[in-house]
Chains A and B, each alone.
Chain A
Amino acid sequence: MKEFPVPVQTAEDPSVKKQSGNIFSNVFDELVRFAQSRSLFMLHYCTGCGAIELPPAMTSRFDMERLGIQPMVTPRQADILLITGYVSVKTLKRVILTYEQMNAPKYVIGICSCTVNGGMYWQSYATAKKLNDYMPVDLYIAGCMPRPEAVISGLRQLMEKIKIGEANSWQDYFKRYDYYLGNQQRLFGETWQTPTDIIGESKHYSLHTPETEGEHTRLLELHQRPLEPLEMRLGLSEKTEDR
């Protein structure tokens, strides 16, 4: 396969911050980042037609695994969340739930034009147009649909970003949770909630900023129902609230 040139950012690049402090810790950090970039577990949330390009990308023709990327079955162990097409409003709820369950550091890749701007579903009442309104997206791979080469190329870019310590957009979700929650509430209604305690997690990762909480998180607190196990019954469960 022809190697696509990957833009490499160097220290002269103004977007890369000058490293400071202990040289050993810098070396160690680089080692950790290198290791992270070379062992990525990917949870692919195959929402639309873009999913059809993933099997060739993963299997022997293009072989994603030679880059250290392979599929994972649960979000708790996954590093990359791959959204491969349009996200309807109902799907977006699941995507956000899944995203919040992933452990940091976590990266989101939007594949296909639909995740960028709605694509051919732009006029649909039922789809979310811009994925990065609802969660920070590290990388978009545009196209309808992008070829496996494009997918691989995008993943290599992500790897490079991780290696130089640039893929930090997951921190944005904790730092500006109120903004993302606001967008989510506008779409899903004010009773929207997920089981994950994002504010608590932002404190856990020391990413709590003044923008983490705001009017939207206060609205969430008003409606938040704690996760309580309900009585378990055999047979069909009673109709739960339609989400």
Chain B
Amino acid sequence: MTEVIATNETILVVGGGISGMTAALEAAETGKKVVLVEKRPYVGGRVTQLYKYFPKLCHPTCGLEINQRRAKMNPNLTIITMAEVTDIKGEAGNYTATVKIAPRYINDNCTGCGNCGKAVEAEFDDEYNYGMGKRKGAYLPHRMAMPQQYVIDPAIIGSDDAQKAKDACKVNAVDLDMQEETIEFNAGAVVWATGWQPYDANKIQPYGYDRFENVITSVEFERLADPTGPTGGKILRPSDGKEVKNVAFIQCAGSRDKNHLLHCSRICCMASLKQCTYPADDVDISVYYIDIRAIDRFEDFYQKVKAQDNVKFIKSKVASIVKGEDDSPVLHGVDTEGYNRYANQHDLVVLAVGMEPSVDKESFPVDIVINEEGFIEPASENGGIFAAGCSSDALDVNRAVQHATGAALRAVQVINRVAGTEG
């Protein structure tokens, strides 16, 4: 049974991505008690799935390591993974949260040795790699996962595989009888940091993401470039595993579009520019764009990529994609600089998909103001619930961290008021 000691001077942080972690750590480091609830089996969120950050092209593992260390060292912070907030009742200074925790089937004895993973035979699509590549039925979600504990896929529970995992464990960490549990605890303020998800590319019908293997999304491309990814860092075509010699990026795939996401997702231009630096020099790159929005004064980054000999910018929103010879996608459209009609074939097409807020308007556990784009508004009606990071707007990591720090301060203010009235 998971036990959480919490009072109405506790801050609940929902979501353990870079924003949630930041808010939780900043608040905990002011001395407040914080409970962080994360849906995945590990914290760090989508940042863990990035190969490099813009503009410095450094690796997110570095910043992640610092945050994980801060989390381990702080006694004020309790992290609950594989858990979802299903209900919040009350008002600022006095909330009761209901949290549903899925069974991990692995307890805290786990040392991350990997014996269970070796013993299990069943394989599943690896969600960490967006379904590209496989993982075992007992698995460590990724190398830097925190907590550094294995997870047993519920699909193998009751099978021989599950028993094999249990038998292989030398530290008695496999608990196949673990059940889903629901807990309730108090909180004075809530930081909502459920982040974002890549816009469902299947909905952009003319681009054929659901029909063409060599049309992928920007988040998938990130995994292809990562040495720990499914191709060991080689950019290979999904259809035949051949090396990509000619790649196209399509900007605003699902963003700034009344048929899809209304808002500009802001990060996609910089993300694609960053991804232009991933392939080798002899790979031809074409970027199809409406206009380049190099946010946060990164115009110089754009200019640098523009100066790369192998990169070409085509001012046009691609109208449609059809399959050409050798499963290569052919892009159709008309460019705005000259109104020339084109049909360009590429080995691989990357859709720079938009940021969709992971804020479920229909079943949000408490009354809150959500705007037409699906983000949480900074409204006084929200009481002691503060959005952090991408649940408030489409933000890059840098801005999400700044925003989360602000949200933590708001939450701390509520707790201080509670402490004042009580003390």
- Decide whether A and B assemble into one complex: no
